[in-house]
């Protein structure tokens, strides 16, 4: 029987890549959550072409009522990937960032999506998961160290690590394995936005900043989302019985712990 795996942030980027990988590798039934309904539909069609099946649910991970409503309508879940998230600059000494976002409001928005969002997701869908379940929370390499101007994003992603550790110990007695992943630079729309904003703040061209960022990675390149999806699939695999409460670094050697 195909496993049912729920993925938040499934309309694009890493969430979409995870859905396609799981469809192609095991014919999984994917429950796709996201805010962009047309894009979710495109992901679902791609999942079906790849050999899986899919259902879509328009939802924001900050909306606990909506998540609970979806959860009540579902059958058993075998896996969950909390991939939804947003990023951006929140300079502590400025009232707005380079994109014109009010700093305090944007700080709250990032933390709500990137840290409280995974908590909301696990809370809502845990009742649908039994022994053998696998949960993966998506953090970031910025959950391992700080970057100037990214206080909210760094804080939220550091928090995801702590959340994964605590939930892992809390749920392992129920036979549910929880881990996190910390990707480095992935070629996604989010990364392109980050490149554009940092380049503007530092007075570089986008090409110059990207070259600098790639040079800081031991393997000297950014990654494709499907490369990261392979690592997430391993954590979701029932064969993974020993990696519990860990954060898998998928960053090309930036962090070595």
Which residue from 50, 29, 39 is spatially nearest to 9, judged by alpha carbons?
39
> Rounded to an integer, what distance in angstroms lies between the CA atom of residue 79 and that of residue 238?
10
Looking up tokens 């990654």, which residue turns up? 223
150 a catalytic residue:
no
Tens digit of pLDDT for each residue in 167-221? 999 999 999 999 999 999 999 888 888 888 888 888 999 999 899 989 989 999 9
Intra-chain end-to-end CA distance of the chain, in Å: 37
DSSP string, 131-158: EEEEEEEE--GGGTS--TT-HHHHHHHH
Burial of 178 (0-12, 13-18, 19+ CB in 10 A): buried
Tens digit of pLDDT for each residue in 213-249? 899 899 999 999 999 999 999 999 999 999 999 999 9
Question: For residue 127, what is the DSSP state?
Answer: G
- Catalytic residue of the set 57, 107, 125, 153: 153
Question: What's the pTM value of the predicted model, to 2 decimals?
Answer: 0.95
| Alpha carbon distances (Å) from 14 to 10, 37, 93, 207 | 8, 17, 32, 23
Instruction: Domains for the chain: give ranges and CATH numbers.
Output: 4-184+224-249 (3.40.50.720), 186-222 (no CATH)
């Amino acid at each position: 029987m195909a496993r049912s795996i729920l993925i938040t942030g499934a309309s694009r980027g890493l969430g979409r890549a995870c859905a396609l990988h799981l469809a192609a590798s095991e014919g999984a039934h994917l429950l796709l959550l996201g805010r962009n309904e047309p894009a979710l539909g495109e992901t679902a069609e791609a999942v079906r072409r790849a050999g899986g099946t899919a259902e879509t649910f328009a939802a924001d991970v900050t909306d606990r009522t909506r998540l609970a409503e979806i959860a009540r309508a579902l059958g058993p879940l075998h896996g969950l990937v909390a991939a939804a998230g947003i990023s951006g600059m929140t300079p502590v000494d400025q009232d707005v960032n380079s994109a014109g976002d009010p700093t305090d409001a944007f700080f709250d928005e990032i933390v709500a999506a990137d840290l409280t969002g995974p908590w909301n997701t696990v809370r809502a869908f845990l009742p649908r998961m039994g022994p053998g379940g696998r949960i993966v929370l998506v953090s970031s390499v910025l959950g391992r160290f700080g970057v100037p101007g990214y206080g909210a994003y760094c804080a939220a992603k550091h928090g995801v690590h702590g959340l994964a550790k605590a939930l892992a110990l809390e749920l392992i007695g129920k036979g549910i394995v929880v881990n996190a992943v910390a990707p480095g630079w992935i070629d996604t729309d989010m990364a392109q936005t980050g490149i554009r904003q940092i380049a503007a703040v530092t007075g570089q061209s986008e090409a110059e900043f990207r070259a600098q960022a790639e040079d800081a990675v031991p393997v000297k390149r950014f990654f494709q989302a499907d490369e990261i999806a392979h690592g997430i699939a391993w954590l979701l695999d029932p064969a993974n019985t020993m990696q519990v409460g860990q954060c898998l670094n998928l960053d090309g050697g930036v962090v070595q712990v």
